[in-house]
Amino acid sequence: MSSLRIIDIAVNLTDGMFKGIYHGRQCHVADIPAVLSRAWTAGVDRIIVTGGSLEESREALAISETDGRLFCTVGVHPTRCKEFEESGDSERHFQALLSLAKEGIEKGKVVAVGECGLDYDRLHFCPAETQQKYFEKQFELAEAVKLPMFLHMRAAGEDFCEIVARNKDRFTGGVAHSFTGSAEDRDRLLAFDSMFIGINGCSLKTSENLEVLRGIPIERMMIETDSPYCEIRNTHAGMKFVKSVWSAKKKEKYESDSPVKGRNEPCYVKQVLEVEYLSKILYHNTSRVFFPQDLDTAGDSLLESGAISENN
């Protein structure tokens, strides 16, 4: 067992790939227990399972109840915001989300509202106006349950930050996860005192990406996999910093004790950490937002000693 302590803030365990389904075809057995076993061995301490719709949030809560180290979010992803209106009663749909969030909080499992935000790269799934309307609506959810927000911003920096600014007093903090934006996007996010930025393999593709990341203060950063997507690939600029590797098998030659080639999974968050390299501080950042009742005392000491600023 690794001596590292890592929190992966974004794992899509509800995705079909973790059930062995790829492009609608069953390629191997469902293998969440094997995936989690590799994660714990790699030093992952906790995982936040992402909810991206009402139904997916229900499934994320059910999955999180299977292990004390799993937690989840409740919310609706920007590309799926049409579900509010397609439900036939958008307010009743919102109330169902609220009830689910309250249930999950009582169980000690729901730690954030989300995944919500804006995604202008995929307007074919949901128009911008609908995304904006129900992104703003989910601040009402965060205010009602007093939870931080797990946020999605893709090619929509200006509108995203305008909506956050209007609602900044309605939520306790949050993370803009899977960040792939420009230096301007980075600085807009950092202008909000309670906003963190989540980094994964998609954030590490190019030398330009790495240069943008260097401008994020380490005390405002978190790490994630966003698995089964966003792995660090051999062609990515960040790969040169990676030390940990796993022998992966093609899905057609599946073996339970090996990762599936081309499918990201939470054990690989260790690779993201190797690119960013400051494990205690990143662990503390995540605990501050999502697990404030259990702050890492080592991280507190680092913050108080000023070690963070020395590493920037």
Q: What's the pLDDT tens digit per position in 151-193?
A: 999 999 999 999 999 999 999 999 999 999 999 999 999 999 9
| 28 marked as binding residue | no
pLDDT on residue 308: 38
110-119, 123-132, 235-244, range with the lowest pLDDT? 235-244
What pLDDT is attached to residue 293? 78
Contacts (Cβ under 8 Å, ≥6 apart) of 2: 41, 42, 43, 270
Residue 294 among known ligand-binding residues: no
d(C-alpha 9, C-alpha 251), whole Å = 25
| Structural domains of the chain in order of their starting residue, each with its CATH number | 6-291 (3.20.20.140)
**Predicted TM-score of the model (pTM):** 0.91
Is 152 marked as binding a ligand? Answer: yes
Q: With 80 as the cut, is the pLDDT of residue 306 above it?
A: no
Question: Which residues, at least 6 apart from 166, have a Cβ–Cβ distance to it below 8 Å?
Answer: 136
Q: Identify residue 66 by its one-letter amino acid code.
A: T
184 known member of a binding site: no
Q: Which pairs count as long-range contacts for 207-216, CB under 8 Å and 24+ apart, including other chains?
A: 207/237, 209/180, 209/237, 209/238, 210/237, 210/238, 211/183, 212/181, 212/182, 212/183, 212/186, 213/276, 215/183, 215/186, 215/187, 216/186, 216/190
